[in-house]
Structures are given as structure tokens and as C-alpha cells.
Structure 1
Amino acid sequence: MNLKAIQQLTVVQLCFAISFFTSGIILNIIQGSLYFTLRRFNKYLYRKINYYLAYSFYSQLVFMAEWWSESETAVYIDKTEFEKYYGKEHGLLLMNHSYEIDWLMGWKFCDGIGVLGNCKAFAKKSIQYMPPVGWSWKFGEYVFLERSYDKDKEIILKQLQELGNYPDPIWLLIFPEGTRFSPEKHEASQKFAEKNGLPILKHHLTPRTKGFTTSLMGMKGKINAIYDINIAFNKDDKVAPTMTNLLYGKKVLCHLHIRRIPIEDVPETEAEASKWLHDLYIVKDKMQESFLKTGDFFTTSGVKRIQPFELPRRMYSFVNTIFWNIIILVPALRYILGLLFSGELLYFSIAIGICSAFYIMLKLLIGMSQISKASSYGTEKKKA
């Protein structure tokens, strides 16, 4: 049996689930202990330590993308700016939300520039109650929103001032579209844009500008730049960009274009900043159109061509994941196998229950990344 066949075995995926979720809970306990003690007296030290705890958790998923599936990322960045700024300053990230694993390929890049442990994002408030991912995000001071602007405005302004005081560079991710792209949401988005006199986009949802303009206010004086990110996968690739395929060890090729925009280039007033964001999405849409038609961001978009490069893989995610597998899987498998072969129906049932619970958690994790059709995008209550 070759390696690819082994990677697709259910028992192998179950081992990943046991290691990932158990290590996550262990790290959550450490994070929580420090969050409610050390953080009260020394935020600086807490955030320094939590960087490594968060990294130890997140990098296991990076391992799956980078080492397990050997997926690659063609990075399109101005080399001069890359060497001068990337990973050396706080950044506000604007990224399209079109694929199941766009966030993970973004994490893969963040690991390459040394900011993975300080990656933050806007997330639904309910996620913070879901261990171990939500708990890790809670202790990592993510921005949790209720999807009501009147309530969220104060949360954004307060939380972003906190994040701006981090001792090391943070990258804060915003999906201005508010939800992942799907044909149903796109149709609603186009109707909404037409009704409100906004640009009609072919490959993106109309961005919701209030969260963006409020974020600018919250990070005022704290950030130097916005990073505009475009992620694309070739539509003719044999392997679809999904979590399941990465878990099966199937390789994908991601194309990642990032442009650094100095914060002084963004208008300060809410109305002008909103228009700036809509104009930015017109360019993003042209780039996506060009890529889908030609397999290249630049051919028909009018954007200046940049030659891609690949960041070298770092060993940290590999070593970290192997460490957790040894620490957790050796005793866990011994215990589960002991129950399975004990000859007692009760113990056998307990073992099956444990395995089923971990497998269900893995499926739920994958489900969180899959495209949801439940969004109310474009309804009358939602305003750009």
C-alpha cells in the first residue's frame, strides 16, 4: 500500500482528529488559565506566551496543507515591499471569500512570514463557545460580532484598540463580503447592488462597508497598511480546493496575490472610504475574471504583472505536529485498542463511542469551512 492510499484511510484521519482536538483542549486549558490570571496583570507577557500556544494549535492545520498534502502557493508580491514590510508591522487584511480553504492557504502564507500565532479575524459570536477552535480564538482576542452593526460598532472600536497594542505584528483579517461566495448569495448581491446604485460584481459579493470603515477608525494610529489579498485556484485543476481533499493528502495549487496599500492612501471620511472599498472590489473582480478566463491575474485585468515565487516550507509546523502525535496518539491508541480487545461489550462500546465522537468533531470542523447557503445576504435589513 502506497502513501497516498494510507492517507485516505479512515483510521488515519481518525488519528489526526484525536491528536488535533485533544491537543487543542490541552492548549485551551493553558490559554484559559493564563487568560484569567496572567492577562489581568501583564497583557504584554500574556500575549507573548499566547502567540506560541496559538501557533502550536493552528500550525497543525498548516501541516496538513503544507506537509501532508504538499500543497503549493504561488505568491505574487512586490519583492522589495515583501522584504521591507511583510511580517514586520500590524496589517488589516482584505480578502475574497470564495473557496473552502482560502483562509487556510492564508494561514500557510502567514506561517511563512512568522505571524501565524498572531493571526486574528472577525468571527460570529457563537463560535467562541465551540472548543477547541472557538476557545482558542477567544483567548487569542479575536473580534466576535453579533451581526448587528449598532451592537458591533462599540465591540470593533474597543477590541481593535486592544489589538493595536500587541507587542508583535498582528494580521487582522476582514472578509468585507460578510460571507462565503455562492451562486445564491451572488444573485442576491447583484440585486442588492443594482437597487442601491453600487458596482455590480461578477465574481464577488458586494462588500459591506460599515465594518471596514469602523475598523479603520478602531485601528487609527495603530496600523501602517492595508493588505489587499486575492486568492484563486485554477478551475481546471483535477483536485478541488477542499478540506477533505487536503485531509486525503491531495495536493492543490493556490495563487495568492497580495498588494500592500499604505494607510494614508485610504480616505478618512466614512463616505469616501466606502467608495474606496467599492472601487477596490472592482479591481479585485477584474483580477478574478482574468484568472478564471486565462489562469492569470494580469492578462485582462490591467493590473501590473508580478512574477510569482514560492515561500520555502518551515520545519516548525512539521515538528510541532509530530510532537503532538507522539504525546497524544501513543497513549490514546493504546487505551482505545485495550478497550476494543478487552472482550467486554461495555468496553468495546466505549471505544467505539470515543472514536465516533472524534470523527464527528472532524466532520464538524470540515463543515465549518464548507460553503453555507444559510446566509441572508442582500436582504432589506443588510446595508452596504
Structure 2
Amino acid sequence: MAMLEDLPADLRGIILVTPWGLYLAVCDVVLSLLLVVRIFAPDFLYRASCGLGYSVWRWIQFIFEGCNGARITISGDRLPTRESAVVVSNHVAWADFYLIQSLALRSRMLGQCRWFAKIQLCWVPFLGWGLWAMGMPMVTRNWMRDLRELQRVFGGIVRRRWPMWLISFSEATRFTPEKYDESAAWCKQNGRPCIYFIPVPRALSLPCSI
């Protein structure tokens, strides 16, 4: 990769990302076509989507860490391998995805990562269909509407024993000073304790009944 280091940043980015982007498009098409087997072969579709997801995410991690020289330091308890988990993280920047995927790679769960996504993406040809085929939770951020979708996702984990990292940015948005000020104002107006350094998670700010 030494010969790429002297290139302008924009050109270097195009050279590195274009092949990955084309491969991602192919995987989205394949996953979209596999949607037809979801009803009668859900286990096959899940395994196939895990394999394709692993290859896509492993490639982008290689660009981030191998080609761009990003150094990710992991500390704390050693995580078990091949174990399902609900992963809750703050959302500060796009680099958050690389950090979580690096941890998933080391835990041998990269292909089993499933991220909460906006329901509107379902209408995006191939990209949204690919997310749907992978079993990503497609949510509206309305608890009553999303309850059935969450039951579907957890049903796959519980009934079919699908290994999965279910990843959620509970703040439901990237952190900015402006968004934090809005969150602090909402907490004050509604008599809620203000959470420092992060916007209040959406689950706490939405009215719901149990």
C-alpha cells in the first residue's frame, strides 16, 4: 500500500473504496434475490447473509485498519467468542461502526452483527432489500409500531438459536453539542435527570406503557 500513500487523499479514497462499493452492490443484489427463500428456508437465508455480511464488513475493516493505518485499542474484560449479545453504544461519529466491527471481528461475530435501521430504507432498491434479507431490525422509533418487529428479531434468536450481535445506538442519533442542548432542555422540561456527555436515549424520551 506504500505506493498509494503519495496519492492525493480523494484519489486514494476512490481507488480503495470503489472495488468495495461494487462488491457491496453485488451482495445487495444477491441478498435481494434470496428474499424469495425467506419464508420456506429462513435458516439458509440467515447463514448466507452472515457469510456475505462478513465479507463486506471484513473488507471495509481492512481498508480502515490495514490501508489507512487506523489503530484500535481494546481494553477491559476479554469477551467470549461466538456468543450472542445485545451491544449498546454511544454514537459520536461514523468511526463508531469500525470500532464495534473490530471488536466483533475479534469475538468471531462480525458476520452475525445486526444493526437497528430506519424503516424507510426498506424502500431503497437492493440496499434496503439487502438489509431486510439480512434480518436487520427495521424500526420507526415508535415503540408500539416497532414492538412486532422486535418480537420478530428476538424470535429468530430464541426459537431458531441464531447467533447474533444486536447493536443499538440508544441515543438514536449522532452526538453534537446542538443535539445535546436539545436533549438537556427536554429533560429539564419533563422533569427527567440530565445525562451528561450523551443525549438522553430515545427509549427514555418516548412515552410507553408496559
Give the alignment's TM-score, normalised by structure 2: 0.85
Contact in 2 for aligned 1:47/1:166 (Cα 8 Å): no
Q: 1:130 to 1:72 in 2, by over 3 A?
A: farther
Structure 2 counterpart of 1:109, one-letter code: L
* Structural mapping, 1:256-267, within 5 Å: none
SS at match of 2:138: strand
List aligned pairs for 1:328-343, cutoff 5 A: none
CA distance in 2, matches of 1:132, 1:73: 32
If you compute each CA radius of gyration, which structure gives the higher value, 1 or 2?
1
What is aligned with 2:16?
16
Unaligned runs of 5+ in 1: 211-377
- Aligned residues of 1:25 and 1:131 also touching (Cα < 8 A): no
Match in the other structure for 1:169: 163
Which residue is equivalent to 2:189? Answer: 195
Deviation for aligned residue 1:169: 2.1
Deviations 1:49-82 (A, max 9, x none): 2211111122221112221112122212223xx2
Instruction: Assess if the C-alpha contact under 8 Å between 1:66 and 1:108 holds in 2.
Output: no
Aligned-residue offset at 1:131? 5.6
Q: TM-score of the superposition, structure 1-length normalised?
A: 0.49
Cα distance in 2 for residues equivalent to 1:131 and 1:71: 32
Instruction: Give the SS at the match of 1:36.
Output: helix
Q: Write the distance in 1 (CA, Å) between the matches of 2:65 and 2:125.
A: 24
Contact kept? 1:128, 1:134, Cα under 8 Å: yes
Instruction: Identify the structure with bigger relative contact order (alpha carbons < 8 Å, sequence gap 6+).
Output: 1
How many angstroms apart in 2 are the aligned matches of 1:75 and 1:165? Answer: 33
CA distance, structure 2, for counterparts of residue 3 and residue 17 of structure 1:
13
Q: CA distance change for structure 1 residues 47 and 88 in 2, over 3 Å: closer, same or farther?
A: same
- Is the contact made by 1:97 and 1:181 (CA closer than 8 Å) also made in structure 2? yes
Q: 1:193 to 1:44 in 2, by over 3 A?
A: same
Identity %: 20
Structure 2, gaps ≥5 residues long? none
2:4–2:12: 8 Å Cα contact kept in structure 1? Answer: no
| Paired residues of 1:120 and 1:170 also in contact (CA < 8 A) | yes
What is the count of residue pairs matched by the alignment? Answer: 207
Letter in 2 for 1:32: S
Aligned residues of 1:65 and 1:105 also touching (Cα < 8 A): no
Give the aligned partner of residue 5 of structure 2.
4
Structure 1 position 207, deviation (Å): 1.5
Alignment of 1:320-335 (within 5 A): none
